[in-house]
Amino acid sequence: MEKLSVKIERANSEVVDLFEVDYTKEMTVLEALEEIYRHHDPSLAYRFSCRTGLCATCMMIINGKPGLSCMKLAEPSTNGFLTLAPLPKGSTIKDLVKEL
């Protein structure tokens, strides 16, 4: 299985975290986040509400562009990393979680 390098720019922090996750070509960004949460950092805060009628709660900056983490494939950008950050506007509660 391949490895994917994921950089997470957490809100309210100057630290950029780097994680190596097991990777498949069909993996979404949300699945990569779940892998990080389960196996590397259970303190990572991110939000998703698939199938509950609150679509777009998983929106974040993915490789420099806004996108839905449940729909976007986890692919490295030209720098070799999948880079994730919270959306720039609005209040950030923690890490990748924005206030609704």
Higher pLDDT: 76 or 50? It is 76
pLDDT at 50 over 90: no
**How far from 67 is each of 2, 17, 38, 70, CA to CA, in Å?**
24, 20, 22, 9
Tokens of 54: 């609150």
pLDDT at 79 (0 to 100): 93
Contact, 4 vs 73, CB < 8 A?
no
pTM score: 0.92
What is the domain extent for residue 7? 2-98
User: In total, how many domains does the chain have?
Assistant: 1
Which pLDDT tens digit goes with each residue over 17-42? Answer: 999 999 998 999 999 999 999 999 99
pLDDT at 100 over 90: no
C-alpha count within 13 angstroms, C-beta hemisphere, residue 63: 15
The H or E element that residue 39 is part of is helix 29-39
Contact, 40 vs 19, CB < 8 A?
yes
The CATH number given to whatever domain includes residue 39 is: 3.10.20.30
